[in-house]
């Protein structure tokens, strides 16, 4: 296998300590995310990268592959890179599936993996969803009220990213039913050498200003391919707090589970 999914999972979150092991509708958050990855790549294709023995012990309990990384690593991307260095050199592509991305549909992960195989010369891949007018208005109102969450992306005809922003971009002068506004999904695919390059580069002024790590690639002329995906009516959310757990549980109650089981036995149909 030359593509791996790595899930960075840090126990000591300042906002939500122990988050990876927190139950979401009865299943630990990390187990949910791991099972989503396994449903696409199989157990042999998914590795958890952590800095904490409690998470490593939990991985052993559920049969998940785990790699220990240094506690001093500041970002999930650097934790993914450190884990990749300990895995087989035959792995030439890696997907960073964030450990709190509890409602990421398997078909979105698959879409990114497929695009990585189709375009081996591109260094970075990431998905985005086209927003409806209703979702756009809701997002714009939230931004005007001071909320930070939610990242937008604009891209050209080749689907290579032009810019990412916490602001709602592009500016929509006249609203129609077909507005070109896309919400970025925080999942990344990297070519192995590109990930190593980005991890060595310093933070640039745009990355500093927006607080968006993916801008490091654009500031250094590294192409980022945007993979437009369809959530098929599913809702998107991450988990950064206990309140987010309740939000995720409400979505699961309303929309149903993404997988029939979370024990690592389910494979999403090709």
Same domain for 224 and 145: yes
Q: Is residue 268 part of a domain?
A: no
Residue 196's pLDDT is what?
A: 95
Q: Is residue 238 part of a domain?
A: no
CATH of the domain at 83: 3.90.550.10
Q: Is residue 227 part of a domain?
A: yes
Same domain for 203 and 133: yes
Same domain for 153 and 139: yes
Same domain for 206 and 110: yes
Same domain for 81 and 4: yes
Same domain for 20 and 7: yes
User: b vs e for 72-111, b when ≥16 Cβ sit within 10 Å of the residue's Cβ?
Assistant: ebeebbbbbbbbbeebeeebebbbbbbbbbbbbbbbbbbb
Same domain for 229 and 247: no
- The string of pLDDT tens digits covering residues 249-263 is 999 999 999 999 999
Q: Is 215 exposed, middle or buried (0-12, 13-18, 19+ CB in 10 A)?
A: buried
Pairwise CA distance, residues 11 & 14, whole Å: 9
CB contact at 8 A, 188 and 77:
yes
- The string of pLDDT tens digits covering residues 164-204 is 999 999 988 877 777 899 999 999 999 999 999 999 999 99
Q: Is residue 224 part of a domain?
A: yes
Q: Is residue 219 part of a domain?
A: yes
- The string of pLDDT tens digits covering residues 204-258 is 999 999 999 999 999 999 999 999 999 999 998 888 889 999 999 999 999 999 9
Q: Is residue 213 part of a domain?
A: yes
In the predicted model, what is the mean pLDDT of residues 140-158? 90
Same domain for 1 and 21: yes
Q: Is 261 exposed, middle or buried (0-12, 13-18, 19+ CB in 10 A)?
A: exposed
- The string of pLDDT tens digits covering residues 9-68 is 999 777 788 999 999 999 999 999 999 999 999 999 999 999 999 999 999 999 999 999
Pairwise CA distance, residues 80 & 9, whole Å: 10
Same domain for 6 and 37: yes
Q: Is residue 270 part of a domain?
A: no
Same domain for 211 and 115: yes
- The string of pLDDT tens digits covering residues 77-107 is 899 999 999 998 899 999 999 999 999 999 9
Which pTM does this prediction carry?
A: 0.94
Same domain for 137 and 124: yes
Place of tokens 């990213």: 161
In the predicted model, what is the mean pLDDT of residues 130-142? 90
Same domain for 136 and 50: no
- Round the CA-based radius of gyration of the chain to a whole number and report it: 18
Domain count, the chain: 2
DSSP state letter for 131: P
Domain that holds residue 44: 1-103+243-263
Q: Is residue 269 part of a domain?
A: no
């Amino acid at each position: 296998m030359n593509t791996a999914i790595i899930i960075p999972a840090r126990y000591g979150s300042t906002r939500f300590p122990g988050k990876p092991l927190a139950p979401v509708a009865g299943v630990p958050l990390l187990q949910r995310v791991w099972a989503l990855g396994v449903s696409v790549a199989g157990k042999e294709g998914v590795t958890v990268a952590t800095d904490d023995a409690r998470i490593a012990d939990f991985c052993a309990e559920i049969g998940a592959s785990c790699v220990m990384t240094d506690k001093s690593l500041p970002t999930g991307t650097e934790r993914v890179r450190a884990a990749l260095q300990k895995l087989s050199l035959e792995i030439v592509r890696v997907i960073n599936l964030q450990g709190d991305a509890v409602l990421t549909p398997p078909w979105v992960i698959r879409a990114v993996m497929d695009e990585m195989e189709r375009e081996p010369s591109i260094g970075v891949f990431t998905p985005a969803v086209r927003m409806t007018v209703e979702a756009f208005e809701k997002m714009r109102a939230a931004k005007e009220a001071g909320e930070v969450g939610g990242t937008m992306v604009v891209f050209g005809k080749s689907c290579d990213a032009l810019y990412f922003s916490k602001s709602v971009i592009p500016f929509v002068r006249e609203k129609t039913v077909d507005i070109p506004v896309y919400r970025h999904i925080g999942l990344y695919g990297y070519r192995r050498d590109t990930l190593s390059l980005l991890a060595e580069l310093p933070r640039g002024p745009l990355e500093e200003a927006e607080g968006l790590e993916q801008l490091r690639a654009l500031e250094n002329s590294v192409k980022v391919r945007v993979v437009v995906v369809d959530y098929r009516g599913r809702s998107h959310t991450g988990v950064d707090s206990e309140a987010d757990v309740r939000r995720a549980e409400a979505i699961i109650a309303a929309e149903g589970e993404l997988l029939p089981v979370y024990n690592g036995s389910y494979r999403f149909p090709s």
